[in-house]
Structure 1
Amino acid sequence: MLADADGGLFFGPANSTFAPMVDDLFDLIYWISAFFFVLIVGVMVYFVLKYYRRPGHGPQPSPTHNNTLEIAWSVLPSFLLVVFFVMGFTNYMSMRTPPDDAYEIHVQAKKWSWLFVYPNGAESSDLHIPVGRPVRFILESEDVLHNMFVPAFRTKMDCVPGRYNEIWVQAVNTTGTGVNPDDHKPHDLFCAEYCGRDHSNMHAFVYVYETGDFDAWLEKASNLYEGNTMVQVGEILYKRKGCISCHSIDGTKKAGPSFKDSFGTAHKFTDGTEAVMDENYIRESIRDPRAKVVAGYQPVMPVFPSSRLSDKDITAIAEFIKSLK
């Protein structure tokens, strides 16, 4: 099935088991609020028209207290609040209590990119999940407060530095057919907590596969160097490791210098020195990004030790940067 479930009057496509509960509660609160708004404003307009001041009609004595009326407008809305609370709490507990057999994906947020790590060691910069299976997300942040928000799932949870958060989802529709993401119409994934300069660009896609297609994609993603050239691997790592969030490939300026036409050219640094970008320069910039900071930029790039990027990975990234010249 394609992900085209109706999201109702106010929301986009709904593609999770508890999305209808969220939409129903919102609709209930909205229409009850609209009813009372129309009722109160209507009565107010009626009284204004009926009792406006005119010749021969002076102020009339009026009661100062009515126990029945005051009890009614205090107690009856309280029943509605109880209904809202029960529905909201029930939905909240369902969204916060993943099944024991849920598939686990680690979500690493950082300025300004996402990294999704799967149980077999595969990684991706976009989220890939199977349809009809509970998926538990273990959320963390490497720097500042972020928030993973998938409108189609009606899920939203903070990624907090120094601790783990969790949320889960079970998709009910696929976003396309086959293993190739290009054959899918994915959902959007946003950061919903302001996290700095490129917050608005901290965007990813969510692909929902049939079980067999997901397993095939997962196997392919875990064997990054199989069937791909070094340039292709470098491009994947450029996106997956977050380079894309700070370094453009089209010449536009971001938090870091663009990679376009950068290999083999001289770069001036904040200390007044300069050097030509070659393989050693790229390696040093990844392992010790504060050793040479390009003039006009701040030293905000994190360190990538060998546990996060192997020497082979750095070689692939260098080949990708070369290809942009």
Structure 2
Amino acid sequence: MNSPFRLPEASTHAVTVDHIFYLLLLLSGATVVLVFGLILLFAVRYRRGSSAKRGPMPEILSREFEIGWTVATLLTFAFLFWWASSADLGSLAAPPSALEIHVVAKQWMWKTQHPSGAREINALHVPLDQPVHLLMSSQDVIHSFFVPAFRIKKDVVPGRDTDIWFQATKSGTFPLLCAEYCGTNHSMMRGKIVVMRQDDYAGWLVQQPEGDDLAHEGAKLFVSQGCSGCHAASSNVHAPRLAGLYGRAVQLADGRTVSADDAYIRDSILQPKRDVVAGYEPVMPSFKGLLDDGEIQSLTAYIRSLSKEQPDD
């Protein structure tokens, strides 16, 4: 039942967060009642002129009380730390079957794109009871993707790809806010998350204007920006091949080994001389200032789409 004093629990993560919050609220309230109750008790019992016995407590009682109180507090803290940490760590990695949606933040709007290529501004339609994985970037300043009903909040930082996932458990329309001050019209950077039944979502998706998905856009950029001249399989230039690259371990010239994830691909585009692949010369130019965050997302999506292909070597 909805209450004006309580946000709806509209995602699987919201239930866990609320349980932790209620337990902390209960423990905090019990502590306040205990402390102020003892203050009031002692103030009355040992008031000036009362006949209450005054003197030191028996040493054995005092020692056992201190040890018991300390151990109980330590165990309570350890339990809370374990519960909250496990909940946070469990929400980091999106399920492999999650629906992947790209989000770009800019002053002062949210731009979203579905795998089919359907685009939205300040809105995001998602299916009910299906994990949704958001890959986010900012075109200008720091923003923060905040959906109170889902209990999720993630900073979106320029020059860095971030991600978050959720699984909606209630259909309806829920507010999307920016929780990081991002300029003059920060308060106007609002949107909505529309949770639909899965068959309704499929019907909505079909009705949207057709458009190339990010991988297809990235493939076009790959050619127009001259990347295919070095990285295509038919190229005569000695450059790393991208088929099957995404997600693999990459050996670098300085002896380090890194994972070819979104951050690695972004750094390779903007700072190609920082992580040079072993066996290759640092001849790739930087595309910093030539590509915006949306174009880098498209190129990354294209390289990710090649992950199922077998490498040439």
**Structure 1 counterpart of 2:184:** 197
Residue matched to 1:67:
63
| TM-superposed deviation, 1:100 | 0.4
2:127 match: 130
Once residues 210 and 110 of structure 1 are traced to their aligned partners in structure 2, the CA distance between those partners, rounded to angstroms, is 29
Q: Which position in structure 2 is the counterpart of 1:216? A: 203
Match of 2:194 among 207, 210, 217: 207
**Residue 41 of structure 1 aligns to which amino acid in structure 2?**
F
Structure-2 change in CA distance of 1:22 and 1:10 (3 Å): farther
Quick one: distance in 2 between partners of 1:81 and 1:104?
37
Q: Is the 8 A contact 1:120 1:222 kept in 2?
A: no
- Cα contact 1:138–1:165 (8 A) shared by 2: yes
Instruction: Return the alpha-carbon distance in structure 1 between the equivalents of residues 55 and 10 of structure 2.
Output: 59
Aligned with residue 43 of structure 2, among 41, 48, 59: 48
CA 1:47–1:218: 2 relative to 1, 3 Å: same
Query: Any idea what the Cα deviations from partners look like across 1:61-106, whole Å, max 9, x if unmatched?
Result: 4359732222222211111111111211221122212110110111
Paired with 1:172 and 1:58, the residues of 2 have a C-alpha distance of: 59
Give 1:317's aligned residue.
none
> In the alignment, which residue of structure 2 is the partner of 1:158?
155
Letter in 2 for 1:189: L
Q: 1:120 aligned to 106, 116, 131, which one?
A: 116
1:22 alignment partner AA: V
Match status 1:28 vs 2:4: no
Aligned residue identity for 1:71? I
Task: Return the offset for 1:212.
Answer: 2.1
Contact (CA 8 Å) 1:149, 1:189: kept in 2 or not? yes
Indicate the residue corresponding to 1:106 in structure 2: 102
CA distance in 1, matches of 2:107, 2:128: 29
Cα distance change on mapping 1:10 and 1:37 into 2, 3 Å: farther
- For 1:52 and 1:129, the matched residues in 2 are separated by 64
Q: Counterparts of 1:244-255 in structure 2 under 5 Å? A: none
Structure 2 distance, partners of 1:98, 1:222, is: 28
Specify the code of the residue in structure 2 equivalent to 1:204: G
Distance 1:76 1:58, change over 3 A: closer
Q: Is the 8 A contact 2:136 2:161 kept in 1?
A: yes
Residue 290 of structure 1 corresponds to: none
Letter in 1 for 2:29: A
Name 1:146's counterpart in structure 2: 143
Rate the CA distance shift 1:37–1:120 in 2: closer, same or farther, 3 A: same
Distance of 1:11 and 1:88 partners within structure 2 = 21
Give % identity: 34
- The equivalent residue for 2:33 is 38
**Residues 278-297 of structure 1 correspond to what in structure 2 (within 5 A)?**
none
Q: TM-score, normalised on structure 2? A: 0.62
2:73 is aligned with 1:77: yes
Name 2:10's counterpart in structure 1.
15
Give the Cα–Cα distance (whole angstroms) in 2 for the partners of residues 64 and 121 of structure 1.
Answer: 76
Between the aligned partners of 1:10 and 1:76, the Cα distance in structure 2 is: 33
Give the Cα–Cα distance (whole angstroms) in 1 for the partners of residues 141 and 56 of structure 2: 60
User: Secondary structure of the residue that 1:107 maps to in structure 2?
Assistant: strand
C-alpha contact 2:46 2:52 (8 A) present in aligned 1: no
TM-score by length of 1: 0.60
Look up the SS of the partner of 2:208 in the other structure: helix
> The residue matched to 1:166 in structure 2 has which SS?
strand
Stretches of structure 2 lacking an aligned partner (at least 5 in a row): 212-290, 296-313
Determine if contact 2:137/2:157 at 8 Å carries over to the other structure.
yes
Structure 1 CA distance, aligned partners of 2:203 and 2:109? 25
Contact 2:45–2:52, Cα closer than 8 Å, also in 1: no
Contact 1:109 1:142 in 2 (8 A): yes
Distance 1:20 1:31 in 2: 16
Secondary structure of 1:18's counterpart equals helix
In 2, Cα distance between equivalents of 1:33 and 1:103: 39
Superposition RMSD in Å: 2.7
Change (3 A) 1:163 1:64: farther
